Chains A and B, each alone.
Chain A
Amino acid sequence: MLHAVVISNAILGLEHLFRSDDLVTYRFEEVTAGFDPDFGGADVLIVPNGCDHVAMLKIRDRVRAFLDAGKTLLCFDGWFTAWVPGNQWVHDNEKATKAIRYHVRADRYGLFDGVELDHLQFNHGISGWWACGYIKAAASADVVLADTWERPIIVFDEATTNGLMILTASGPLGDFSFEEGAADEENILSSLGDLPSEKAENGLNTLYRNILRLVHHRKETPYATA
């Protein structure tokens, strides 16, 4: 079982994307004026889309210590402050969103097994909806997914710290698998921003699940690589 801490910026509906199940339990740490999150007992720190990167900068030493203890950081947001060790997200609007296409570059651990790239590339036929900008990746990190212009979109970094970082260029990930027509899906989630269509949802769910399985495997077999 994985134990994850999710940083909450008190945005409505966030808890519906991170629901505990047989693989992972989630605990939420909400950003307040005196933000002082407890990472005790956690294997994974999740920074979801729509997070507070002023608050994250204030605890960057704590995040670094968490990673150096061999734990995992999953960041699915645009971190404009410099709190992620070795890697920096950068916004950009010089490329036309209609020209954005992704390709898998280095996926040593099979994060994209069963994932159709089109599910990340198109939402209701519109491209460029998922990620924003790009990541200036650490030299020793793997670029798992790159865009049309070879810019890093998903980075896998197990070299910069003693732990593991999986970072997206603000591409939201989580558990989007709601029952069709459920109240959760219809009436709670628009505050989270652009939600995926059913097809896109499949790709995001599979990718997120693959990431959790990898992190779980590493926890259970710490000296293995996959």
Chain B
Amino acid sequence: MQPPEPAPSARIGLVFNGVWSQYAFAMAPKYRALYRLLYVHDLTDEAVRGLSALVIPFQSNQPALAARKEVLYRFLAAGKKVVVFGDSQPRWLDAQWEDRPVNNYWWVTNPNNPPVSETNYDHPVYRGLSARHACWHIHGIYTRVPAHAEVVQRNAAGEVITWQTTAYGGVLFASTLDPIVEHGIQQIRHLDHYCDRLTAWLCGETPEGVFTVEPAAYGVTN
């Protein structure tokens, strides 16, 4: 069985380390034309040529990213966008991520107290989103961000959840949210809002329709 072919016109690279939820997102018919899976162990300048943005999802292989950081920063220097979700390590990202327990049940036990309390809704990814669509849960915080960074989201304690900087040429955006992985898993069903805004910001095109799963994409042999 062969997987559906990704569209050659895909403009966003999804840096992928063989995790099924990342694969599920990129292979969903809704997103397949816009995202191209880039296996992290094969990440090269040639592989990212022609793309407008790279997305590094939650549950990425941090040592593999560190080994290929020059590819990411050359891409940024060319004026492109790089987006990082979940955890990261200082050896390839000039910031300090720190773990925190995940509260993914606040909407049942304390629905008026989401993990993020402050969001810059002027940012293109967040424009028009409700508070619940702007944060479902977080995987840790940033205790240090680059001096030139602007903060996009904070939690109630004032800790940084999302930030971005243009100091490297293009836009480097980092957040401890996990939209790609959670949307691929499909246990939280309202992440189209966030992922569609993100996609539009990264490539100028807004995906349409609902997230579906194509069984033919499972059981691939190459």
Which residue of chain B lies nearest to A123 when distances are taken between CB atoms in the complex?
Answer: B105
B140 in contact with A88 (CB, 8 Å):
no
B61 in contact with A31 (CB, 8 Å):
yes
Residues of B in contact (CB 8 Å), total: 45
Residues of B with C-beta under 8 A to A94:
213
Interface of B is mostly: loop
Cα separation A77 to B22 with both chains bound (whole Å): 13
Which one of B48-56, B74-82, B94-102 is at the A interface? B94-102
Residues of A with C-beta under 8 A to B215:
90, 92
A33 in contact with B41 (CB, 8 Å):
yes
Residues of A in contact (CB 8 Å), total: 52
Residues of B with C-beta under 8 A to A189:
99
B59 in contact with A31 (CB, 8 Å):
no
Residues of B with C-beta under 8 A to A90:
215, 218-219
Cα separation A211 to B155 with both chains bound (whole Å): 40
28 contacts between A and B (CB under 8 A): A9-B17, A9-B59, A10-B17, A11-B61, A13-B99, A32-B64, A33-B41, A57-B220, A79-B20, A80-B23, A80-B218, A80-B220, A82-B219, A88-B218, A89-B20, A90-B218, A91-B213, A91-B218, A93-B211, A124-B104, A124-B105, A132-B186, A132-B187, A186-B99, A189-B99, A191-B59, A191-B99, A191-B140
A-B CB proximity, top 9 nearest: A52-B18, A124-B105, A78-B20, A93-B186, A54-B18, A33-B41, A90-B218, A10-B61, A190-B102
